[in-house]
Amino acid sequence: MRLYQLMIFLLSGFFLAGCFASNSPPSIPSEPVTSLVFEQGKQGDMDAADLQLLPDKESDAEDFLVNPMLGDPDDFLVNPLSGDADQTVLADSDEPLDEETLADNLVLQGNDQMPPEEPGEILAHEEPVFDFPVVENEKVRYFVDYFSGRAKKTFTLWLERSGHYLPMMQEIFADEGLPRDLAYLAMVESGFNDKAYSWAHAVGPWQFIESTGRRYGLKNDWWYDERRDPEKATRAAARFLQDLYNDFDGDWYLAVASYNAGPGKLRNAIKRYKTRDFWELCRGKYLKTETKNYLPKLLAALMIAKQPKKYGFTELEYHAPLQYDTATLPSSTDLEVIARLTGVEYLVVKKLNPELKRWSTPPAAKDYQVRLPTGSKEAFLAGYDELPERQRANYVRHKVRSGDTLLALSKRYGVRVQDIKNLNRIRNTRAIQIGTNLIIPLNPDANGSTALAELKDDYKRSRRAYYTVRSGDSLWKISRKFNVTEKQLRVWNRLGWSNVIRPGQRLVVSSKAAPAKKVAAVKDPGPLHKVVYKVRPGDTLWAIGREFSVATGQIRSWNNLAENHVLQPGERLTLHVSSKGRG
């Protein structure tokens, strides 16, 4: 008897050890986790590491029950051994970003931006007249030079896009009692790209994270995301900025900085440094570089936008202001149907309704307001009223549950089993997992290519390059957070087969940031320190670079110098020099 009890004790111990191993995923999660949410503030004390994990509203405990049913292959849909709770039939791989979005991300993320640490003399800007407090100093001038120099091509695109959104945004800001010029903050946030989606899960022209968007009335589910709607998101951003302005006693600079870092981070900085002056707060190391650069970027963008020709932006082709008609739809309707009735291409309707992530208006939304091309409302309503409700939607999405079969689904929706298999490219019905999204073709004449392509959303995702390990982290958790594999993390960070990671350790979490293969060993240059070098008669960039063991290209980058720049005696250059580097 004692031997039996001892065996039970040992087996229990092994089971518990397996459950609590930090680097292995749980076999069947009791609460599926798919939403990563944190308070607005894309870094700082409310950054991506402070995520709250929330259960996916669409997941259901019965999705993890075993289906014991056997029989005909078409009558056996769910594979009980597959535990993923949200799969699609198609391979769910990230599509490459388009060229414009890649360029947007490079400028928005600012990895090549090195403004001076000291703001220098701060001058009030008198001309032109702004309704937002604008000053000029060394940091602001750096970003004016950056936007009109190295990033000119991308900033030109942002200025041209602004014509589409700014009139509407400025009207909303004025209606909410905010400075009209503050609407240019959307340019610094997203470059006016309504599909922008950051590594921190911030979305849309105003880059709302889900929790803050929800607090200001922006809804988000599988079908639509109101954070992407320029009007709804602008209204929410205006109310949020007004709250921040009130929280910081009428200081717009602190309100803008807290939009980026989070109000808690700014309050802590004020308490730590005992000052409410934004420029003084930036002298310390507590605020992240992104926040320190955030306000100077806005001020630089405002200066250029008000006088583009002064800064070399000529022959701009501003996009036409946003205009449309609206119609109320009593039932779910495919955008292909709307496009056909209004006489335009599908993508035109999609672009007018950026909050829609899929091919259709949300099935659960009653009296949904859809946007139509200007002047098409009358013809649309006439054709729509004659269309039977069943013909308004060609497809329906069905999320597979335990007990579902293709035969049962065919009877439920009044379609053939073979039509479901053909549209979803199903070969082996036993391989389909619980939680799989299937497209059910309601109209046999529809080819389904649009719906199938839009099983995956159309966000323009950016990728975070690095992540700092926190207490309680594991490779498995980090791989899930950044949608990569544990093997990739090991390779990129040269961990071998070790799972040991330490709090404070900096990990590469994106293939773009992964180190290239070493060609030759490079000696450690030692810690870098800043040197301000005063140019002497006869100096050249090559000679200065050789003296301090730095490349001439680095000197140009640090000082924002053009290729044909001629050095002048007395000119001051900022260098970042190794303690071992001076020759």
The DSSP symbol for 216 reads T
Higher pLDDT, 342 or 75: 342
| pLDDT score of 522 | 38
The domain made up of 325-453 has a fold known as: Membrane-bound Lytic Murein Transglycosylase D; Chain A (3.10.350)
Q: List CB contacts of 384: < 8 A, sequence separation 6 or more.
A: 327, 329, 333, 341, 392
Tell me: the pLDDT tens digits for 194-251? 767 666 678 889 999 889 999 999 999 888 999 999 999 999 999 999 999 999 999 9
CA dist 146 and 119 (Å) reads 16
Phi-psi region of 478 (alpha: psi -120 to 50; beta: other; left: phi over 0): alpha
pLDDT surpassing 60 at residue 67: no
Mean pLDDT value of segment 384-396 = 82
CA dist 444 and 390 (Å) reads 12
CATH of domain 99-311: 1.10.530.10
Tell me: the pLDDT tens digits for 417-437? 777 777 677 877 776 788 888
The SS3 call for residue 433 is: coil
* Residue 275 CB-half CA count within 13 A: 9
Q: What percent of the chain has pLDDT over 70?
A: 72
| pLDDT score of 115 | 85
The DSSP symbol for 472 reads T
Cβ neighbours around 505 below 10 Å, total: 14
> Which has the minimum average pLDDT: 89-93, 179-183, 231-235, 323-327?
89-93
Would you place residue 127 in the very low, low, confident or very high pLDDT band (cuts 50, 70, 90)?
A: low
314 is written with which tokens? 């000529």
Cβ neighbours around 60 below 10 Å, total: 16
CATH of domain 465-517: 3.10.350.10
Amino acid residing at 173? F
Residue 531: its H or E element: strand 528-534
Domain ranges of the chain: 99-311, 325-453, 465-517, 528-578
Q: Are the folds of 325-453 and 465-517 the same? A: yes
Which CATH superfamily groups domain 528-578? LysM domain (3.10.350.10)
Would you place residue 48 in the very low, low, confident or very high pLDDT band (cuts 50, 70, 90)?
A: very low
| pLDDT score of 483 | 74
| pLDDT score of 526 | 54
The SS3 call for residue 371 is: strand
CA 168-108-178 angle, 5° bins: 35
Would you place residue 305 in the very low, low, confident or very high pLDDT band (cuts 50, 70, 90)?
A: very high
| pLDDT score of 61 | 28
pLDDT surpassing 50 at residue 39: no
Mean pLDDT value of segment 70-84 = 35
